[in-house]
Amino acid sequence: MHTYPPHLSKPLSAILGQGHFEAYFQPKFTRDYRLAGVETLARWHRKDGRLLTPGEFLPACIDLGQTMALTQAMAFQAIHTAACWQARQGAPLSVAINLPPHCVNAIVLDYLRQTLRQHGVSHQQIIIEILEDALEQPTDTFLAALEAFRQEGFRISIDDFGTGTAGLRRLVDFEAHEVKIASYFVKGVGKDARKATLIQNIIAMAEQLGMDTVLEGLEERSDLAWTSHIKSPRVHLQGFILARPMSSHDLLLGSQQAA
């Protein structure tokens, strides 16, 4: 499925060549492997059959000034998928949307507000993911805009936590709902006592602050096995060993089969 926002007169991909952009969804799971939600990831289907990841097309979007349009297209598809899931399952689906810093503004906030209303999806179902790097030297305008998203009812997640210098300070200064521990720390945790100690401390700190934690980048069986020692119910798991990113069609097909 490659649904685009109604206000876009032509597919965004026309700017980059033939093909279409599509939102893919990577599941997140509870510690007992129940679906906890999904993260929205952009993919570009080329006419030659290749499926490209953001690292392969995002630089061109940036150069052409089209990251705002791409963000809106992915958000529209994410909300549309959440509405389809809700209609089929009779239950809400938590969906995370990645926002680059320049898209944390009143225009995107209003766009999300309108799209949610059109689809009958709650603000509380949407998680806004912000890279920790964006919080290292934020402007007052950016922080005010991010706070407006939070006040609107969106949940805020700090992605790639632990890779920058802002982490601990911003956990105190800004009331986020979730931290996603960077895959650098998660990969190899099953065999690295130092990484295990660090992750356990982050989980404990986040829980004391009333925040969820996501361990992203789980790919090895030994790392997944290590997570069985985690006691906190506020920890979610994400990685290729559990589920790879999938199209909306496959996600919704899985929901039908599970039902």
Q: Which helix (H) or strand (E) holds 62?
A: helix 54-63
Task: Answer yes or no: CATH 3.40.50.970 is held by domain 12-258.
Answer: no
> Is 42 within 8 Å of 74 (Cβ atoms)?
yes
Q: What is the pLDDT of residue 256?
A: 54
Q: Name residue 178's beta-bridge partners.
A: 157, 212
Residue 38 Ramachandran class (φ > 0 left, ψ -120 to 50 alpha, else beta): beta
Nearest CA to 251 out of 145, 113, 93, 110 is that of 93
User: Within 13 Å, how many C-alpha atoms sit on residue 197's CB side?
Assistant: 3
pTM of the model: 0.91
Task: Collect all residues with Cβ–Cβ distance below 8 Å to 255 and sequence separation of at least 6.
Answer: 85, 88, 89
Please return the burial class of 15, using the count of CB atoms within 10 Å of its CB with bins 0-12, 13-18 and 19+. Answer: middle
Residue 188's nearest CA partner among 220, 156, 215, 216 is: 220
Q: How far apart, in whole angstroms, are the C-alpha atoms of residue 184 and residue 163? A: 8
pLDDT of the residue at 9: 47
User: pLDDT digits over 149-183, tens only?
Assistant: 999 999 999 998 876 655 566 677 778 899 999 99
Give one DSSP letter per residue of 27-51, joined into a string. EEE-TTS-EEEEEEEEEEEETTS-E
> pLDDT value at position 59?
86
SS3 content of the chain, % helix, strand, coil (to 5): 50, 20, 30
pLDDT tens per residue across all 259 residues of the chain: 555 565 554 566 666 666 788 999 999 999 999 999 999 999 998 888 888 898 888 888 888 888 898 999 999 999 999 999 999 999 999 999 999 999 999 999 999 999 999 999 999 999 999 988 888 888 899 999 999 999 999 999 999 887 665 556 667 777 889 999 999 999 999 999 999 999 999 999 899 999 999 999 999 999 999 999 999 999 999 999 999 999 999 999 876 555 4
Provide the pLDDT for residue 257. 55
**β-strands 51-52, 126-131 pairing:** unpaired
